[in-house]
Amino acid sequence: MSILVVMEQRDGEWNRMSWETLAAGQQLAGELGTTVSAAVIGQSVNAAAAELAGNQLATVHAVEHDLLKDYTPDAYASALRQLIAKAAPSLVLFPHTYQVRDFLPKLATSLGKVAVSDVVAHRVEGGRLILVRQLFQGKVNADVRFSADGPNFASLQAGAYRADQLASGSAPVEQFKPTLNASEIRTKPMDRFRESTRAVDLGAAELIVAVGRGIKEAENIALVQELAAAMGAELAASRPICDAGWLPMERQVGSSGQTVAPKMYMAVGISGAIQHLVGMKGARTIVAINKDANAPIFEVADYGIVGDLFEVVPELIAAFKQR
């Protein structure tokens, strides 16, 4: 059993989730008593491969081809199929990015395998790997085992593993040039959709006050905004608040928003769905205000206030202003 982590980069810029996946690969390799290697794919990936080689890995595979300059599902799946045939890993891990969601099912199916997507945790029992993924928007945790021999595939959700736990080292880099033909690539990459530049960098904020659906009406956001101002904190939100247009998308925290790791994250009227938790559970201290004592946010909170936010928040504002 050996593990291969497939990293994601674009024009030399890493997708940060790749590092979390690499850390997970190292952790799994340690627990399963095996080795972990990593692959980087593109047209010119030597610099990226050299950077990757600074980690504790058995090998770094630099998968290069002109037809891998721009991402296409056909070329990526074909290149990886060839690399997997050569490196023979039993488990291949990917970050759960949009790109991976696009090509991983195709890759796994072409090898007659399944891909376990959106993994949030794992454990090893009797030498066997069990992956945990969430169903019904995080209400149920499902244990998943691979029933067949590898290569088995899994993608890991953002925030599930910690990149700051990566072990450094010095790994050899192996060049791998897959055989690809332009005729087998059925999609034509166009200009990439560019998101508007973010005016708010929640990732750099030390204090964050985040508001959720418990706030009930758009007009009430001002209350939480006042609390954030009194604390000198950035204002953030759960997805329904941004979907409703009550706050701009750039303030959304979670799997489809920003990932934050402030010194303190205060969740106001947020239930704590997994898609929200993955974006903020790296905060050093989590404070939750929720009127439902059973809200899942309290499972990750260091301090919890069970109460009506419309009573608690004005009290907090007054207290902060007094200080």
Residue 130: count other Cβ atoms within 10 Å of its Cβ: 14
The distance of closest approach from Cβ of residue 250 to ligand FAD in the complex, given in angstroms and rounded to an integer, is: 12
For ligand FAD, the nearest residue by Cβ is 254
How far is it, in rounded angstroms, from Cα 257 to Cα 4? 28
Q: What is the DSSP letter of 11?
A: T
The distance of closest approach from Cβ of residue 72 to ligand FAD in the complex, given in angstroms and rounded to an integer, is: 24
Q: Using CB under 6 A as the criterion, what x/- string covers residues 130-159 for binding ligand FAD?
A: -------x----------------------
Q: SS3 of 234, please?
A: strand
Q: Which stretch binds ligand FAD (CB under 6 A): 28-36, 80-88, 150-158, 267-275?
A: 267-275
How far is it, in rounded angstroms, from Cα 49 to Cα 175? 9
Output 65 or 239, the one with its CB closest to ligand FAD: 239
The distance of closest approach from Cβ of residue 193 to ligand FAD in the complex, given in angstroms and rounded to an integer, is: 18
The distance of closest approach from Cβ of residue 27 to ligand FAD in the complex, given in angstroms and rounded to an integer, is: 25
How far is it, in rounded angstroms, from Cα 192 to Cα 104? 20
Whether 156 contacts 95, CB under 8 Å: yes
Among 178, 257, 262, 304, binds ligand FAD (CB under 6 A): 257
Among residues 249, 194, 241, 191, the alpha carbon closest in space to that of 218 is found at 241
Output 55 or 117, the one with its CB closest to ligand FAD: 117
Please tell me the count of residues contacting ligand FAD according to CB under 6 A.
Answer: 28
How far is it, in rounded angstroms, from Cα 314 to Cα 222? 11
Output 210 or 230, the one with its CB closest to ligand FAD: 210
Whether 92 contacts 84, CB under 8 Å: yes
* Position 295 contacts ligand FAD (CB under 6 A): yes
How far is it, in rounded angstroms, from Cα 104 to Cα 8? 13
Among residues 123, 97, 96, 141, the alpha carbon closest in space to that of 299 is found at 141
The distance of closest approach from Cβ of residue 81 to ligand FAD in the complex, given in angstroms and rounded to an integer, is: 28
165: left (phi over 0), alpha (psi -120 to 50) or beta: alpha
Output 56 or 220, the one with its CB closest to ligand FAD: 220
The distance of closest approach from Cβ of residue 247 to ligand FAD in the complex, given in angstroms and rounded to an integer, is: 11
Output 5 or 247, the one with its CB closest to ligand FAD: 247
How far is it, in rounded angstroms, from Cα 183 to Cα 142? 41
Whether 53 contacts 172, CB under 8 Å: yes
Among 42, 150, 159, 254, binds ligand FAD (CB under 6 A): 254
Q: SS3 of 133, please?
A: strand
Output 124 or 244, the one with its CB closest to ligand FAD: 244
Q: Which stretch binds ligand FAD (CB under 6 A): 12-20, 95-103, 126-134, 249-257?
A: 249-257
Q: What is the DSSP letter of 187?
A: -
Q: Using CB under 6 A as the criterion, what x/- string covers residues 271-290 for binding ligand FAD?
A: x-x-xx--x---------xx
Token code pair at residue 117: 């997507």
Write out the binding residues for ligand FAD, residues 205-244 only, by CB under 6 A: 212-214, 238-240
Which parts of this chain interact with ligand FAD (CB under 6 A)?
137, 212-214, 238-240, 252-257, 269-271, 273, 275-276, 279, 289-292, 295, 308-310
